[in-house]
Chains A and B, each alone.
Chain A
Amino acid sequence: MSKISDEMLMAYSDGELSFTDRLRVEAYVARDPSGALRLAAFTATGKELSGLFDRPMREPVPQRLIDAVMGSTAQSTVTFPAPAAAVASAQIIQFDHARRIPARTLPKWGLAAACVTLLASAIGTQWLFSSRTSGTGDDFGVTMLSDGVRVPSQALASVLDTTASGQSVANQISGMQVTIKPVFTFASEGQGHCRQYEIKLAQPTQLTGVACRTSGGPWHIEGQVASAFVKSTDGSIVPAGKSSSASIDALVDRMIAGDVMGIEEEAGLMERGWR
């Protein structure tokens, strides 16, 4: 049997080989001690590097860096990719959570939804549509993201399709832990059924958005904000920086027809495929 290349040993240690190639490598390494030594260089460096520099992924980005990108007036609010003209002029209306969200669907930190809004983000749109449109597809006038973190396009949509409000679904995407949670469901005027959701990226970063679908249609993201949270000294999770009005709440306030749905009503919708 021919000697196994360094690249192949490395691919083995990184889990990049097919089943048959894995067997070849394993047979070779079992037979040849020098192969095991060569392999060790790759398993060791893989292990050393994995997560070693991840501290910035768990911490909020310093404001000065956000300011460097956005300019100091970075308090931009929310992306309204769909009915831009109609919604962009939305007044920020203080949302009364107690009025319409049943307590059982409110996550502990959900009240902190009056969180500091760091940037307008279109990432959810890209996640939702990234596999249907490749490259610079353009569903809502938003250029598709083409950098490293890629969520399977179906991830968010399938969570919205089938997961009850308040339940989280964890996904491992490009080595990043991403948790998606529908928060509540409501019927809207004209946009069909809508769900507010939360996406937690690297620990302190969270995206909050609203997606809607009309009968039989795909999910559309109506708006989404990104926020950063920090752990306070008493261990609770609080918004980083000073709070601003929750633009997503304002969006929901404008869109909602009637009250937030109960779990049973929501389950019925899921059973009927959102029709």
Chain B
Amino acid sequence: MSDDIRNRMVELLPRLRRFGYALTGNLDEADDLVQETCTRALASAAQWQAGTRLDSWMYRIAQNIWFDKLRATKVRGETIDVDTATDIAGSDGRDITESHLTLQVVANCISQLPAEQQLVITHVCIDGQSYKDAAEALGIPIGTVMSRLARARQALHLAMVAGHGAPPANSRLQPSHLRK
């Protein structure tokens, strides 16, 4: 495999970690997710088409891994305790702040969005790309980016207004499209 794709993956690592952080709300879990994502991406690098966006492709891989994990968690009937699942305590206690709580709530909301909405919100709101760039990255029309993004943000806003606090543990890690 060319070193080029590895180098580009390394360049993507900070953004992949940020994406993982937004999905999991937890840096340790984000790093596990990113590591798994890289391993899987390298194993299937032949499936990535040169000339298409590496970042979007890897985001999708990360999503799939995360959704699989959530599904497995659901099947085993496990619930994840919010306090131990998050790095709320931090190593030095600095993290116990309002913004950290916000982060938990927002990450939780994001992880409940449908996959396609997660991707547009990541490209636009978290990566800071323009609608046009996001459309190009995702290979969809700009109008689709805008309608998905609008729905995602309305859902996010509702969820955040409704409960500015941790939702019940049994629904916490449940993306909406997995719920029956």
For A44-55 the 0/1 string (1 means CB < 8 A from B) is: 111011101111
The one of B14, B42, B51, B123 that contacts A57, using a Cβ cutoff of 8 Å: B14
A1 interface hit (Cβ, 8 Å): no
Q: How far is the CB of B2 from chain A (nearest CB, A)?
A: 8
For A32-50 the 0/1 string (1 means CB < 8 A from B) is: 0000000011101110111
The one of A46, A66, A142 that contacts B10, using a Cβ cutoff of 8 Å: A66
- Evaluate contact between A142 and B54: CB separation under 8 angstroms: no
The one of A6, A52, A147 that contacts B55, using a Cβ cutoff of 8 Å: A147
- Evaluate contact between B129 and A50: CB separation under 8 angstroms: no
Which stretch of A85-93, A119-127, A247-255 is in the interface?
A: A119-127
Task: Determine the residue in chain A with the shortest Cβ distance to B4.
Answer: A143
- Evaluate contact between B153 and A10: CB separation under 8 angstroms: yes
How far is B3's CA from A142's CA once the two chains are assembled, in angstroms?
11
B147 interface hit (Cβ, 8 Å): yes
Which stretch of A68-76, A184-192, A236-244, A261-269 is in the interface?
A: A68-76
How many interface residues does A have (CB within 8 Å)?
54
B98-137 with Cβ < 8 A to chain A? 99, 102-103, 106-107, 121, 123-131, 133, 137
B1-36 with Cβ < 8 A to chain A? 3-4, 6-15, 17-22, 27, 30-31, 34-35
Q: Which residues of A contact B13 (CB under 8 A)?
A: 61, 65-66, 69
How far is B137's CA from A16's CA once the two chains are assembled, in angstroms?
17
- Evaluate contact between A148 and B153: CB separation under 8 angstroms: no
Q: Which residues of B contact A7 (CB under 8 A)?
A: 143, 146-147, 150
The one of A45, A64, A119 that contacts B156, using a Cβ cutoff of 8 Å: A45
State which size class the interface on B falls in.
35 or more
Q: Which residues of A contact B62 (CB under 8 A)?
A: none
Q: Which residues of A contact B54 (CB under 8 A)?
A: 146-147
Q: How far is the CB of A65 from chain B (nearest CB, A)?
A: 6
A136 interface hit (Cβ, 8 Å): yes
For B124-166 the 0/1 string (1 means CB < 8 A from A) is: 1111111101000100000100110110011011101000000
A205 interface hit (Cβ, 8 Å): yes
Q: Which residues of A contact B99 (CB under 8 A)?
A: 52
B75 interface hit (Cβ, 8 Å): no
Q: Which residues of B contact A42 (CB under 8 A)?
A: 150, 153, 157
Task: Determine the residue in chain A with the shortest Cβ distance to B51.
Answer: A136
Task: Determine the residue in chain A with the shortest Cβ distance to B131.
Answer: A16
How far is B61's CA from A82's CA once the two chains are assembled, in angstroms?
34
How far is B153's CA from A19's CA once the two chains are assembled, in angstroms?
24
How far is B14's CA from A62's CA once the two chains are assembled, in angstroms?
10
- Evaluate contact between B125 and A120: CB separation under 8 angstroms: no
B69 interface hit (Cβ, 8 Å): no
How far is B106's CA from A202's CA once the two chains are assembled, in angstroms?
23
Closest 7 CB pairs of A and B: A175-B128, A56-B17, A147-B55, A41-B157, A49-B125, A45-B153, A7-B146
In the complex, 25 of the A-B residue pairs with CB atoms within 8 angstroms, ordered by the A residue number, are: A7-B146, A14-B124, A16-B130, A40-B157, A44-B157, A44-B160, A48-B106, A48-B156, A49-B126, A52-B22, A56-B21, A68-B35, A69-B10, A69-B42, A70-B6, A119-B10, A135-B51, A136-B50, A142-B4, A143-B50, A145-B8, A147-B137, A148-B133, A201-B14, A226-B11
Name 7 extra pairs, CB < 8 A, besides A122-B7, A148-B129: A53-B21, A56-B17, A64-B35, A65-B34, A79-B7, A123-B11, A145-B11
